[in-house]
Structure 1
Amino acid sequence: MSVGQHDAEDPEEPDAAWRAATAARRVLLPLAQMEKKRRADVDAAAAALNISTTKAYRLIARLKEDERTSALLPAKSGRPAGLSMYAADIDEIIREVLERDYVAEQRPSETAVLNTVRARCRRAGLNPPGRKGVKTRIQALDLYDRLKARHGKNAAEIATSRPGEFVVERPNQVWLIDHTEGDIILVDRRFRQPIGRPTVTLIIDAFSRMCVGCYVSLGKPSRIQSAMALLRAFLPKEALLEDAGQNWDWPCHGFPELVHADNGSDFRSAAFRRGLSNYGIMLKHRPVREPRYGALIERYIGTTMGELHLVPGTTFSNVSQRGEYDSEAKAVMSLDGFERWLLLQIGRYHISPHRGLDGFTPQSRWEASIGLGFRQKEIAPGAAQEIMLAFLPGDRRRARNTGIHFKKLRYWAAWLTPLVRRGGASVDIRYDPRDMSFIWVASEGRWERVHLYRRRAPFTLREHELALKALREAAAASFDEDAIHAKREESQAIIAAEAATTKRARRHNEHNERSLEQAEAIYGEPPPICPSFSDLPVVSPGKAARTVEEW
């Protein structure tokens, strides 16, 4: 193909241009290398390439400066890049309007910007520019700066390139943890009426993308929610799957080297840091307002929530997607059913090809590492209680002759007597907000369970706080422990009566019941023991001198 033929070629065919330039170089390079050349030789070369002699001389001149084939490729047609078609005054008006109006949080449309530019040009006695010219200037703006000014930093981060990768070399090296609100309305298990959306905590292994742990509840994200998800991640999963009536291979357990989390208050709590440190696990927080650092866990959450949009009662991702769909009217799934559904989705995800793993499945990636010598740290049987204690919130209290006073409650055990006789030594305590009928007290290197001096049925910290609030509102002059429990039981009776008609009451009731069940599953229910000092006088404890670590 000749250079002359290329002149009529479609510019979208680079191979044709290259073939023409290669043919021209092969014919003209010997002439370019001659000090003197005859006109007849140039005419013959031009005829062979089907171009004019004048064009042949121009191409020979190019080859004298640069002998590469690329020197003969034709220049792009049209206006040179960066050269404006408008007068300087018009360009200046366009620039000012874009900087002042377009790159702003108000986010005016391109049409609004065009109208502003045209109005200013008319006032200045200039010809208004066309839509295409203004749109070209908008597209020439830096994409990151434009999106950041109009849509915020997150949108700019997502839409622009950020080279780099999350480098991990083995399973259990880095785990990522995060909470999300499930895109579904659940029903309570008693009345089968709507009670709202669940909170889901998920943990994935960065190397294999395996989900190593999960937990669902009706409470807000909290350190107990995070601790329960980690507890499940640490332990073998056979018992969890058996309770859910499922039988599939979930080989993940053991302790990670590092946990990667966002900056939520539960992930920054003293209890969370202390629990990880107790097992030699490092904690790393993502940079503030830098969501790309949590992309792995965010994508997994998005995948799981996407599957949830096919379940009756889904809320979808936003109002526009939901349209006129009545999520509460369609709701059929209880919290227990949702957890079983979630476990099935995890099992399916593990055996599905993953684009980030070059098409391998998360489970095959995990099993391949086992074959190459990776070994998980085995967890001792019955370690759930010990692990949970490491993550419980706590404080330090003095053992008085009236017991250990904590949150307007008194706890007592006979083995505290020697401490009281020595002047009331201070002791470390831990408590689980899901069951305040007992606390844990440190004694000689281990944790001992200490119950209320008058045994009560299990109750949550939230129930206790509501009872205290009711007493304060009644302007009680002093707190009496029996009065507190009476108020709590009265409150529970009201909630139970209202549960059939009130969504909030049903949710409260369901959350409390499940919290107590989960706590009992870990700690067990001790046999009833009559307290040795049941006749201790009721003494109103003084105001706490410092803030107690909350859950």
Structure 2
Amino acid sequence: MNYSFKVGTTISIENVNFLIRRVLSEGRLQLESDVDGALTNTTLNELLGKYEQKLLIFVNTSENKKIEIEKTTDRALFTFPDAVQQKAIRKKKYVEFVIDYGEFTSSPEKLQPLIEACAVTLKDAKPPSCTSVYRWYRAIIRNQGDYRALIDRFDQRGGSGSRLCPEIQTLLKQSIERIYMTQLREPVSEVYFDLLHKVNKENEFRSSSEKLKMPSRATVYRAIAKLDKFETTCARYSPRIAKMKFRSSGNGPNPTRILERVEIDHTPLDLFVIDRETNLPLGRPTVTLAIDVFSKMPVGIHIGFQGTSIESIFACLRNAMMPKTYLRDKFKTVESDWPCYGIIENLVCDNGSEFRGAELERVALEMGTHLTFCPKRQPYYKGTIERYLKTVNFSFSRMLPGSSFARWFHREDYDPLKDAIVEFDQLVQYLHKWMLDIYAQTIHRGIRAIPYVKWNEGMSAYPPALLQNPERLDIALGRTSQRVLASYGIDLNNIRYNDSALHVIRKRYGPRIKVDVRHYFGNLSYVHVIDPATQSAILVPALNREYTRDLNLVQHDLLSKHVREKNAGQVDINALAKAKAELRELVYEMANSKSQRTRQKSGKLRGIGTNQKDIIKSDPTAIDEIKENSVRFSSSVGSEDLPSIGSINMHVLGKKRD
């Protein structure tokens, strides 16, 4: 139906109905509100503007509106099958052809020649009858000129509702609820057999004329296919999974500057690395990554065998907030620089225990960073880092030999342990090159820009902030414990620390005073003692520097456990020093183990992926002995024998990312 701005027409402006009372001169109109009868003067141009903005629609107030209008006006032609569309267009052409020759007439003598002439024009071998064309014309007139009345509504044919008897409908509903709509997720065939059992049981005491007729298997399948998909997923899986599966995604957070929103997370790398010293596979390292949402530029990284720990988070955050001047000296093959640094405004995490601890909250307060925790088991609230981790595993890990694939069953006959030839140091170098020379230099589809360029543009507009003293960051990323300051200094983890500066504190506050001690997971050679008066940090070295050199907390705990077992709970520093030598032998055995999990644990004990010196490297004789006695799982090659990062599956690296 077509409309115009004339007297008596009802229009709706932003859901408020108005009746056009008068059409005045110079394109002015007077409207009457249906709400309170108030009169409003407006112009035709103003109404046309609202119509163009889709704020105005015409209201059909015809009292003699036919049922055909309700069937056709609310559905667009393209939603019908092609055959129905072509048939409606054919009808319209015949009616228009007749109307073009003057007033429409129903006389067969005048109408038939026009129909035949139109059929020749359309090359229609089977032209319609005069009655059909007249019926089409009358349908258009009854619908006030709306040609959509010519659309065949085959979809409204047939009866409505189920043809099954009420008893069968009730039994079928019971079977569906009992069998299908449960988290056991039984197949549809079980619903059919359960219904068959119910029908047979119901027919036991019925006469032949009253027996219920069992519906066909196809009827049961159709009944289940008509169930609400959201409700079905809720019942067969869980409401959480249903909400996740049927969620509607929007644009999400839209930061306006760099470091306004940074997302962080861990993932096991889909790649087995080998031990340079033993040539045996170490396992899959864990990578912790932080990415800037504004520029899609990775800002921090940590790779190691410490798993999803607070130490991995601290190492990644330190890397994210400090300048990356080490890049050119450490990785000669990386051509691009890494300009990312600065204090993070908002850090987005999941609900892992390592993120939820008080240590991260404390660091965030000291750095002036706001922590945001995503809802539980809803990773799409930090979709940028989740997608980036997937890109790392799918685009980077898959190009190197030893890729483990995302799921073990995807490997089929492929054995990643046999093909693993990439050493840990090579992995770190290759990942930096892929991340900075390929990912950061490729147009990102989400922001329609190159991450490296986007970051530099953002840095020009909002220069990143740094701490006044970089040592403050190291202190902030430690852990705090309270210890008694005595004559021997500080005793922490059975290691004693002392310095002349502590003597001043004891003289001021007493011979035994509790002080806060900042200690560090990756380095036990020193601690920081907080001065009770000034709250400043005092560097205090370990008394036995030979023992604590290149020692982390995991190694020390293992040594302490070993000494306790041998000395019935008495732990002293001399015994620890002796045990440190025995630790090398233990790690040698673990690194040479046939168990991949044991070899991976040896990587953690040796501090691979940290700043600690690999304790296995300090005894070349033992290394040679291991190489002679070990069974080679894979062939080790040097960096010069590996293909360059630029020549390895570049077609994989060049894939578009979300």
**Which residue matches 1:542?**
none
RMSD between aligned residues: 3.5
**Which residue matches 2:356?**
268
- Residue 478 of structure 2: which of 383, 392, 412 is its match? 392
Instruction: Supply the distance in 1 between the matched residues of 2:544 and 2:586 (Cα, whole angstroms).
Output: 24
* Paired AA for residue 420 in structure 1: R
Contact 1:29 1:60 in 2 (8 A): no
**Which residue matches 1:301?**
389
Structure 1, gaps ≥5 residues long: 1-9, 522-551
For residues 54 and 378 of structure 1, do their structure 2 counterparts lie closer, same or farther at Cα, with a shift above 3 Å needed? closer
* Paired AA for residue 134 in structure 1: V
Contact 1:228 1:388 in 2 (8 A): no
Contact 2:479 2:520 in 1 (8 A): yes
Which deviates the most, 109-118 or 469-478? 469-478
- How far residue 357 of structure 1 moved from its aligned partner, in angstroms, is 2.6
- Residue 548 of structure 2: which of 449, 452, 457 is its match? 457
- Residue 321 of structure 1: which of 379, 398, 410 is its match? 410
Q: SS at 1:263's partner residue? A: coil
Q: How many residues align?
A: 503
Q: SS at 1:355's partner residue? A: coil
Instruction: Supply the distance in 2 between the matched residues of 1:254 and 1:18 (Cα, whole angstroms).
Output: 66
- Residue 362 of structure 1: which of 440, 448, 451 is its match? 451
- How far residue 156 of structure 1 moved from its aligned partner, in angstroms, is 3.2
Contact 1:186 1:332 in 2 (8 A): yes
Contact 2:497 2:542 in 1 (8 A): yes
Contact 1:431 1:438 in 2 (8 A): yes
Contact 1:404 1:412 in 2 (8 A): yes
For residues 87 and 318 of structure 1, do their structure 2 counterparts lie closer, same or farther at Cα, with a shift above 3 Å needed? same
- Residue 103 of structure 1: which of 165, 175, 181 is its match? 181
* Paired AA for residue 494 in structure 2: K
Q: SS at 1:266's partner residue? A: helix
State the TM-score, normalized to the length of structure 1: 0.80
Within a 5 Å distance, the mapping from 1:2-41 to structure 2 comes to 11-13=81-83, 15-16=85-86, 19-20=89-90, 23=93, 40=107
**Which residue matches 1:415?**
501
Contact 1:403 1:453 in 2 (8 A): no
For residues 46 and 160 of structure 1, do their structure 2 counterparts lie closer, same or farther at Cα, with a shift above 3 Å needed? farther
Deviations 1:69-109 (A, max 9, x none): 33432213465696324333333333222222112222222
Instruction: Supply the distance in 2 between the matched residues of 1:417 and 1:55 (Cα, whole angstroms).
Output: 111
Identity of aligned residues (%): 24
Say yes or no: does 1:511 pair with 2:604: yes
* Paired AA for residue 19 in structure 1: I
- How far residue 39 of structure 1 moved from its aligned partner, in angstroms, is 5.5
For residues 136 and 342 of structure 1, do their structure 2 counterparts lie closer, same or farther at Cα, with a shift above 3 Å needed? farther
For residues 313 and 515 of structure 1, do their structure 2 counterparts lie closer, same or farther at Cα, with a shift above 3 Å needed? closer
**Which residue matches 1:525?**
none
* Paired AA for residue 331 in structure 1: A
Structure 2, gaps ≥5 residues long: 1-79, 119-127, 203-210, 615-658
Contact 1:175 1:256 in 2 (8 A): yes
**Which residue matches 1:425?**
513
Q: SS at 2:461's partner residue? A: coil
- How far residue 433 of structure 1 moved from its aligned partner, in angstroms, is 1.4
Deviations 1:453-480 (A, max 9, x none): 3332322212222233334445725443
**Which residue matches 1:544?**
none
Contact 2:264 2:348 in 1 (8 A): yes
Instruction: Supply the distance in 2 between the matched residues of 1:193 and 1:520 (Cα, whole angstroms).
Output: 19
Instruction: Supply the distance in 2 between the matched residues of 1:487 and 1:235 (Cα, whole angstroms).
Output: 36
* Paired AA for residue 271 in structure 1: E
Instruction: Supply the distance in 2 between the matched residues of 1:127 and 1:469 (Cα, whole angstroms).
Output: 75
Which deviates the most, 346-355 or 15-24? 15-24
Instruction: Supply the distance in 2 between the matched residues of 1:368 and 1:42 (Cα, whole angstroms).
Output: 79
Say yes or no: does 1:252 pair with 2:374: no
Instruction: Supply the distance in 2 between the matched residues of 1:259 and 1:42 (Cα, whole angstroms).
Output: 84
Instruction: Supply the distance in 2 between the matched residues of 1:208 and 1:81 (Cα, whole angstroms).
Output: 58
- How far residue 318 of structure 1 moved from its aligned partner, in angstroms, is 1.2
* Paired AA for residue 510 in structure 1: G
Instruction: Supply the distance in 2 between the matched residues of 1:251 and 1:451 (Cα, whole angstroms).
Output: 34
Q: SS at 1:518's partner residue? A: coil
Which deviates the most, 88-97 or 18-27? 18-27
For residues 59 and 446 of structure 1, do their structure 2 counterparts lie closer, same or farther at Cα, with a shift above 3 Å needed? farther
Contact 2:94 2:133 in 1 (8 A): no
**Which residue matches 2:419?**
330
**Which residue matches 2:167?**
89
Q: SS at 1:179's partner residue? A: strand
Instruction: Supply the distance in 1 between the matched residues of 2:513 and 2:273 (Cα, whole angstroms).
Output: 48
Deviations 1:293-351 (A, max 9, x none): 13222121112111313322221111220112222222112221221222223121222
* Paired AA for residue 441 in structure 2: I
Instruction: Supply the distance in 2 between the matched residues of 1:84 and 1:287 (Cα, whole angstroms).
Output: 43
For residues 250 and 436 of structure 1, do their structure 2 counterparts lie closer, same or farther at Cα, with a shift above 3 Å needed? closer
* Paired AA for residue 518 in structure 1: N
Say yes or no: does 1:53 pair with 2:140: no
Instruction: Supply the distance in 1 between the matched residues of 2:315 and 2:331 (Cα, whole angstroms).
Output: 16
- Residue 378 of structure 2: which of 257, 275, 290 is its match? 290
Which deviates the most, 337-346 or 234-243? 234-243
Say yes or no: does 1:143 pair with 2:235: no
Instruction: Supply the distance in 2 between the matched residues of 1:122 and 1:79 (Cα, whole angstroms).
Output: 34
For residues 351 and 264 of structure 1, do their structure 2 counterparts lie closer, same or farther at Cα, with a shift above 3 Å needed? same
For residues 489 and 161 of structure 1, do their structure 2 counterparts lie closer, same or farther at Cα, with a shift above 3 Å needed? same
- How far residue 286 of structure 1 moved from its aligned partner, in angstroms, is 0.3
**Which residue matches 1:203?**
290
- Residue 120 of structure 1: which of 198, 201, 213 is its match? 198
* Paired AA for residue 214 in structure 2: P
